[in-house]
Amino acid sequence: MRRTRLLLVVVLGLAAGLAVVLRRRTPTAGTPEPRPAPLAVEPPKPALQADAEGSYVPGYEFTVNRFRFTGFSLRPDAVVTFAQTGTGAEQPMACLDVLIRADTVHLRCDDPQVGTVTIDGRFRTRVATNRLDTAVLAAVVTVRSGSGEILYRARDSFKWHPRDSGEPGT
């Protein structure tokens, strides 16, 4: 009798184990949820202000050695612009020391008449704007004479203006 009980317990244990194994192997009755389709094209990333072609106009114009600071551009070339106070003729200064990142700008430009102009700034917004009344860059502008004397140094805010292509209607 003892053997019969032991055999019955073993058979019931095996049957229970087989039932558990079979139950786990049977597929669920529900249909699997479909995966979302991958995007065919990655959405375009917004243009960075650091890549925008145009000019940066200061909130405050200053004069050094009979030249009035009128602004600068980063693209297509880094250029600082001054205008002669008597004639108004613009004098662009090419910048040879240029660092433009998504969030910062460093320019250093040399001119024998004006001096060395350094602009160190941070973009207030990374994404390019088309609002002409919004200051997009805060920077410190420093002008030094050939001997290294500081002629002008101040923090200013700059508004961006798109590049004029010179074509009618643009």
pLDDT in tens, 67-78: 999 999 999 899
- The residues, any chain, with a CB within 8 Å of residue 81's CB and separated by 6 or more, are 55, 69, 70, 71, 72, 73, 90, 91, 92, 93
Amino acid at 107: L
Q: Is the pLDDT of residue 152 over 80?
A: yes
Q: What is the DSSP code (8-state) at residue 71?
A: E
Candidates 114, 130, 125, 119; CA nearest to 156 is: 119
| pLDDT at position 35 | 78
Whether the pTM exceeds 0.85: the reply is no
Band of residue 166 on the pLDDT scale cut at 50, 70, 90: very low
Q: Which residues, at least 6 apart from 21, have a Cβ–Cβ distance to it below 8 Å?
A: none
Is residue 162 pLDDT above 80, yes or no?
yes
- The answer to whether 90 touches 83, Cβ cutoff 8 Å, is yes
- Quickly state the pLDDT bin for 120 (edges 50, 70, 90): very high
Mean pLDDT for the chain? 84
CATH class of 49-162: mainly beta
Spans of all domains in the chain: 49-162
- Residue 10 pLDDT: 74
pLDDT in tens, 58-97: 999 899 989 999 999 999 899 999 999 989 899 999 999 9
pLDDT band at 43 (very low <50, low <70, confident <90, very high): confident
Res. 134 pLDDT band, cuts 50 70 90: confident
Cα 88 to chain centroid, rounded: 34
DSSP label at residue 127: B
Alpha helices in the chain (DSSP H): 2-25
